[in-house]
Amino acid sequence: MRASFRKIGLAGRKRQRGIAAVLKQLLELLRSRGVDVVLEDTLGDVVSGEDQPLATLEDMGQQADLVIVVGGDGSLLSAARRLAKFSIPVLGVNRGRLGFLTDITPDDMVQQIPAVLDGQYASEKRFLLDAEIRRNGAAISQEHALNDVVVNSGASAQMIEYQLSIDGIFVYRQRADGLIVSTPTGSTAYSLSGGGPIMHPALDAVVLVPMFPHALSSRPIVVDGSSEIRLDILARNRIHPPVTCDGQANMKARPGDSVHICKNPHPLTLLHPVGHDFYASCRDKLRWSNALVT
């Protein structure tokens, strides 16, 4: 049965290597299917000579039935933070490296994109996190994250001292380079590099990974996805730790501030080709053994 994707948005980063050729191929493919196509406004000069309607991501979220993001996982992360609130499905075409989120290759587009348009796809929900810095009890900045929220000491090469509370309950006070708060989606990203566990994307959980803690007994903690996490930057710290969402959106905290992290109410709807397998992605991207034991 054909899916009801009558208007499709194309998004991505204009500096992504090879994006122009992929966009032109996608435009030709989608037009041949008789769907309306709108291009992200920042890509207008990438496909020169194409008389193509342009729109911001926010306008796409309100007008389109599907957004196809061309690029690596970073491109999809950036788009996801802006599109999730519109409940619009997102499909990724990989022009990056690992591609845990963008799993259609340009070589497979001709077969897999039409199949998606015909309703042959797998759909899953990925939740995001809200991160808010509060100063003297008042919110001063807020961002969203699909992968992770990271509080760290920045380029100072100094530890920060912070106090962690979950759902209003004191957990610990610790000196470390920082703390990674990751969704299951982000568990194969920075959290993995920091020693955190790999979590299946369907889990409703969050992992907290200390960064180089000054305590041999400090280990990652996995908590319920609906937990309310509070990180108090103790007043005696001398540095202003950055708070980063998905490694892209940056905020700056001060000693005495608190960082509040909770689940965003609007999940991202992520589409995959039929047969998508998380464990196969791990074998491929993380170089797990492909050998079968018999």
Kindly state the average pLDDT of the residues 142-158.
Answer: 92
59 is catalytic: no
Task: Tell me where in the chain the CATH 2.60.200.30 domain(s) lie.
Answer: 129-263
- Active-site residue (options: 73, 103, 148, 246): 73
Domain 129-263 belongs to what topology? Tumour Suppressor Smad4 (2.60.200)
Residue appearing with tokens 């196969």: 280
Cα 69 to Cα 82: distance, rounded to the nearest angstrom: 12
Task: Tell me where in the chain the CATH 3.40.50.10330 domain(s) lie.
Answer: 7-127+267-285
| pLDDT tens digits for range 182-226 | 999 999 999 999 999 999 999 999 999 999 999 888 999 999 999
- Between 97 and 40, residue with greater pLDDT: 40
Indicate the pLDDT class of residue 14, thresholds 50, 70 and 90.
Answer: confident
Q: List the one residue out of 91, 270, 253, 242 whose CA is nearest residue 183.
A: 270
| pLDDT tens digits for range 20-66 | 999 999 999 999 999 999 999 999 888 766 678 999 999 999 999 99
Taking a C-beta distance cutoff of 8 angstroms, is the pair 123, 116 a contact? Answer: no
Indicate the pLDDT class of residue 293, thresholds 50, 70 and 90.
Answer: low
Cα 266 to Cα 229: distance, rounded to the nearest angstrom: 18
Cα 203 to Cα 197: distance, rounded to the nearest angstrom: 12
DSSP output for 263-278:
E-SS-EEEEEETT--H
Q: CA dihedral defined by 275, 278, 280, 282, rounded to 10 degrees?
A: 160
**Share above pLDDT 70 across residues of the chain, in percent, rounded to a whole number:** 95
Kindly state the average pLDDT of the residues 90-96.
Answer: 89
For position 91, what pLDDT does the model report?
Answer: 97
**What is the overall mean pLDDT for the chain?**
93
Of how many residues is the chain composed? 294
For position 224, what pLDDT does the model report?
Answer: 98
Domain 7-127+267-285 belongs to what topology? Rossmann fold (3.40.50)
| pLDDT greater than 50 at residue 70 | yes
